[in-house]
Structure 1
Amino acid sequence: MRPSPYQDAEPARPLRVLLTTDWWEPVVNGVVASVQTLRRELLALGCDVRVLTLSQGIRTRSEQGVYRIGSVSASMVYDRARIGMPASRRVLREILRWRPDVVHSQCEFSTHVWARRIARTLAVPLVHTYHTIYEDYTHYYSPSRSVGRKVVETFSRRVLAGTDAVVVPTAKVQRILTGYGVRSPVHIVPTGLDLERFRPAASEAEHEDVRALRRGLGISPEQRVIVSVSRLAKEKNLEEVLDMVAAADRADTVLVLVGDGPYRPELEAHARALGIADRVRFAGVADPAEVQRWYRIGELFVSASLSETQGLTFIEALACGLPLLCRRDPSLASVVVEGRTGWQYEDAEQFSAHLSTLLDGPRRREEMATAAREHAQATCGAQDFGRHVLEVYRQSLRRRPARIISRPVVTA
């Protein structure tokens, strides 16, 4: 049996975990949702969890276990992005006095620098979750995709070289990192979901809410609704979604795009050029606490994005009973079970055929809606997510040399 990494220790205490992330509320994206879910589940497992993130201004502050470092806008590089300022010594001293047992970084930029420094100072494991396939974002920083990919490869390899373990949501991302030459242990842990919140409408009040949202968008009871929940950015490939809807040429369908972003004017113009502006609704940003309401107005979820590491919105849609109709991509193999929870399409002909199957066969759609919910419940629960990440911490701690501290309890 491997000896405990905590020798001659003081009495047991909860495992202390510091989560670091450049993205946090009020921003709405997949990273924020994933980190918030992980924090909640680790707390439920008995861990002592704090978060180090960026403030929305230059002032550094702390609140309820969250340290916010002063930052300045970097929106010229990426919408709503921020760069951390030289960090507060008070915050750093407070974190070092608290002495986390594991530092879990969620972003590769400002807060990752802090994560490395804290982990190195305390000689504790540094775990990192790789959320973003940066080579799909080369249009933001390089005119050449091949040059951009080389930059991403070198950058990712260097960032991850100092980690004890890397967490990725899918085998697709694991293969990419292996191709980059990353040597740290890579663990596949799909992001979990709060299945008590993401579910179909159940009560009469929830059904009335669905009807009210549809009325607010000018959608009649007879019209069929296709939903997309996404940031309106170029890498999300929403122009293709508009192309597919136009090619399907179904006057009875309305596409609802939930979200906002810098590419909205181009998408609005593209819808007009395709002659489908009257069948597209731009709903704007949804409150993160209420996004499940928007899934419930639809009959299926659509996406053409190829930039997803896992696609949390796909899982949310499944949990709300929406079959998926998505552009073929290896990252979706675990969520799109062909003909059961949805389909992956490769061209307009396939898109139209699958759309007709779902909309023209109510019994088939109901069967797929049930299968979608069951699949989400079986594979994407938040509790499993928390337990699997905790096991990554356990393994990283076992690989570390013995050190004399008060012994943390790593609960199951």
Structure 2
Amino acid sequence: MAILRAPSAAQPAPQHPFWRQDMEELLDAIVAGRIDDAIARIEALRADGVDLNTADHRGRTPAHLAGTLGHARLIEPLRAAGANLNAQDATGAVPAHGAASGDHVQTIAALHAGGANLSAADLSGRTPVHAAAGLGHWRSIEALHAGSANLSAPDHTGSTPAHAAAILGHERAILALYKADADLFQTDRNGKKPVDLAASQGKTKVANLLAGYEDSRDLGGVLKAVSGSQAHQSLAADLQCPILAEPYARVGDFRPVRLPDGHGSSGQLMPGNVISAQAAYRMLSERRPFDPLAGATYTSAEAGAFLRSSAFAQGDPERLAMVRAALETARKDMAPEALMAAVPRAVENARAAAGAAPASAAGAGGMHYQQILQGGSAGVPPSPSPSGPAAGGRGPQH
């Protein structure tokens, strides 16, 4: 947004008494960042009965200027002097659009405190959240969320803030939207979801992240669908994938996750406690690391043996088959009966494939955690401790 300035002598005078000398001095103070001076001039104009909502030829008011420049301290004095914090300029933008575009977090908070509508749309339907997301301003997204802004509103093309962030590969913005429960899966008027736009623009990391979040949503639906009976609950327990590592998760979240680079470059979704290198190494920081899926307590030596194994990046093939079968079925049929039928078939297929695989291939990726900890994988020393799950015969049960 261009800075508000008085018209030159050659320009016609505006219809409203906007360009009186004291208003010009206020604008100069705002532009120069002389906040105390600007506050004093706002008070003087208020005392003189000057309308601080008078706009220039582009519809911009002093409140727009304060928002765009991030002068949070001016918002309350302007409001108290009668300024409309939801005033729209010629494009329909409100002061919050400027604050979000400039990543002015404190100004966003001040606008919210002053009663501004942080979900206001401009003439194209774009909200301040669109502005922040399209520029990758994740802190502004958090501030807008704290101000109860609508994080999922589509513009006139059907594009949401998630679309705006995804097409440009703004990973932190996608993460902020995800943690704030924004809808990451809406389609625009061309039938494209944010993940589609990210993939089409070669933003692979963001595309993978969004794909994982979509599986998270589906898996949540699966777990809800199979919670009606004891048999279904047992399946739900087998499918759960606890998220232990930040920053790509919320507390209590369940989903398959992609292993980071260096621990499986294929990008395949991994189930069970094969969460990420960070999560696995967290196990080592505890005196007796715990596997929430197996219900087993490991020693640090056993966890270290697992991390050193070639099978770490492969995961349990049966559990992987279960999760993928459930997710694929859920996209067509969420009925518990359909899910219960699909999962056993997937497990049987995985077992048959493991039995038909060459020994070398099975050793590389078809081993269960218990076998790994017992030293069955090449290059892995046997566990030195008799007290962990290797000795107790426990491991992920299906």
| TM-score of the two chains, using structure 2 as the length reference | 0.25
Please give the TM-score of this superposition, normalised by the length of structure 1. Answer: 0.24
Higher share in helix = 2
User: Could you say which structure has the larger radius of gyration?
Assistant: 2
Q: Which has the higher contact order (CA 8 A, sep 6+)?
A: 1
